[in-house]
Structure 1
Amino acid sequence: MKNHLDAPVSASPDLSASIAKDIRDAIIAGRLIVDERLPSEAELAEQFSVSRSTVREALKRLAAQSLIRTQRGAFGGAFVRRLSYTEAYGQHVTTSTLLLSMNDVSFDVACEARFALERACAEMACARRTPDHLATMHAEITRQKTPGLTDEAWCASDVTFHRALVDAAGNPVLSYQLAGAVEAMQPLMNMITFTARSRERIIALHGGIASSLEARDAPAVTAQLEDLAQYTSVLGRDVLAARAARAARETRA
């Protein structure tokens, strides 16, 4: 069998991670293609000069990343798996959420990035939106008007509404890239602003966005997203300033 893995595994305290990286790099570079069978555990152990248990751990890492699949039987083994955009969404959202929560990203920076990316979808979404996208957005607006809707349910509805706008652009690469903006940034932003926001104002803006999208009026969609971005940014600054003032008073007390 042709060896598609270039170099011996690099020195690392975690050999299984290094082996997984080498195999992942081979997949990304196209040296290992979809549905191609990887060398057996014994062959990989010999190639990398490690134990079979180390190879097995490396394969588990790759399977957890949805890069390989295993098959039993006479023609079994580990095979390169085709990763779909839908499957990759979850990993991307998790990474984006961790990145934003673990680093010093200001509310204004997150807000600016999220709405800039979303506005980039407006023209394509107006040209390509389907009745299903519009139905989803209108259904979420109706849901948002429900009396007593919890903050958690509101946040979920808000994400679904904006996810439909992004998906209406009809570009899976763009949808994947914006998964982090909509499904990671948005909930974190909602956590800050939920105590001060006016649901009625947001619902009105959502209604305008949906109506403009239905009319294929891209400039109007863009303008309403800008209004929503400005409102969200002001809300965030006000809430964070109030928190800082309260903390300062408690410190002095």
Structure 2
Amino acid sequence: MSSSPSGPLRTDLEGTRDLSAQIADAIRAAIVAGTLRVDERLPSEAELSDSFGVSRPTVREALKRLAAQNLIRTQRGATGGAFVNRMTYEAAREGLVTTSTLLLSMNDVDFDTAVEARFALEAACVPLACARRRDDNLARMRDEITRQQDESLSDEAFCASDVAFHRALVDATGNPVLAYQLAGAVEAMQPLMNMVTFTARSRARISRKHQRIHLGLTNRDVPEVLANLAEIENYTRRIAAELREARAD
């Protein structure tokens, strides 16, 4: 069931675990370690089958797992095969948001815990955002404020605009690594909070706070932005507490 290591891949397998998963893990580890580099072609299915001592369908399943994670891409033709893909922050962000959303929903994270994490992480971005914000960041936030003031906007569209506004604030840091790490907080936790509070909160109040945040960012005024973020956090907590009390009654 196993063979000696060949090339950059560790090919020893455990008989008690899913073989295709182990092969995918081995290839992923080689990519992470840099022994398999971006745009490098992987060994063929036949070569991988021989190296790991498994059938080609098992190798094919492993490659499907890696392709689903955007770690590899396949090309047809004489120069085709499976190649290491260059992941983008944008593509990785979507996966992180999905994972964060599932973690929140499946593990019954309580509302206050989500609120605490979400605002603490965004507040940490404010000094960098104020120092580095560009005109296009401010324009995106201003567009969302204008959208939020449209009384015909549906609840779902307002919530989406709320998320987009706060994503623009995080993106204003100019740090793609930070923006990626905070995607789970802003784009997974924010919809959770919106879902709980959207029926009771005042759109006008949220929009006014967004305007103050936008003005603070425009003026590079860190205390102003932090103060209004804190007010939104406290308002969110209060609405949720009132809704819980009403349901209990």
Q: Same fold (TM over 0.5)?
A: yes
With 233-242 and 61-70 compared, the bigger mean Cα shift is at: 233-242
For 2:245, the equivalent position in structure 1 comes to 241
Q: TM-score by structure 1 length? A: 0.93
* Aligned counterpart in structure 2 of residue 228 of structure 1, from 217, 229, 232: 232
* Aligned counterpart in structure 2 of residue 111 of structure 1, from 100, 111, 115: 115
* Aligned counterpart in structure 2 of residue 173 of structure 1, from 143, 165, 177: 177
For 1:249, the equivalent position in structure 2 comes to none
Whole-Å separation in 2 of the counterparts to 1:11 and 1:230: 53
Q: TM-score by structure 2 length? A: 0.95
Confirm whether residue 34 of structure 1 aligns to residue 34 of structure 2: no
The residue matched to 2:39 in structure 1 has which SS? coil
Amino acid at match of 2:110: S
Confirm whether residue 6 of structure 1 aligns to residue 7 of structure 2: no
Contact 2:119 2:233 in 1 (8 A): yes
For 2:207, the equivalent position in structure 1 comes to 203
Identity %: 64
The residue matched to 1:75 in structure 2 has which SS? coil
Whole-Å separation in 1 of the counterparts to 2:164 and 2:180: 14
For 2:23, the equivalent position in structure 1 comes to 19
Confirm whether residue 130 of structure 1 aligns to residue 134 of structure 2: yes
User: 1:33-182 counterparts in 2 under 5 A?
Assistant: 33-182=37-186
Amino acid at match of 2:216: S
Amino acid at match of 1:209: I
| Cα shift readout 1:33-88 (whole Å, capped 9, x = no counterpart) | 11111111001111111110110111011011000011222222111111010110
The residue matched to 1:120 in structure 2 has which SS? helix
Amino acid at match of 1:28: V
Q: CA shift at 1:11, angstroms?
A: 2.9
The alignment of Structure 1 onto Structure 2 pairs a total of residues equal to 244
Detail structure 1 runs of 4+ shifted over 2 Å in the superposition. 9-14, 240-243
For 1:251, the equivalent position in structure 2 comes to none
| Cα shift readout 1:71-106 (whole Å, capped 9, x = no counterpart) | 222222111111010110110000000000001211
Whole-Å separation in 2 of the counterparts to 1:12 and 1:128: 52
Distance 1:241 1:29, change over 3 A: farther
The residue matched to 2:91 in structure 1 has which SS? helix
Whole-Å separation in 1 of the counterparts to 2:72 and 2:240: 42
Q: CA shift at 1:240, angstroms?
A: 2.4
Unaligned runs of 5+ in 2: 1-5
| Cα shift readout 1:136-177 (whole Å, capped 9, x = no counterpart) | 111111111101211100011001100100000000001101
Unaligned runs of 5+ in 1: 247-253
The residue matched to 2:73 in structure 1 has which SS? strand
Q: CA shift at 1:241, angstroms?
A: 2.8
Contact 2:129 2:172 in 1 (8 A): yes
Aligned-pair Cα RMSD in Å:
1.2
Whole-Å separation in 2 of the counterparts to 1:174 and 1:155: 23
The residue matched to 1:173 in structure 2 has which SS? helix
Confirm whether residue 214 of structure 1 aligns to residue 206 of structure 2: no
The residue matched to 2:200 in structure 1 has which SS? coil
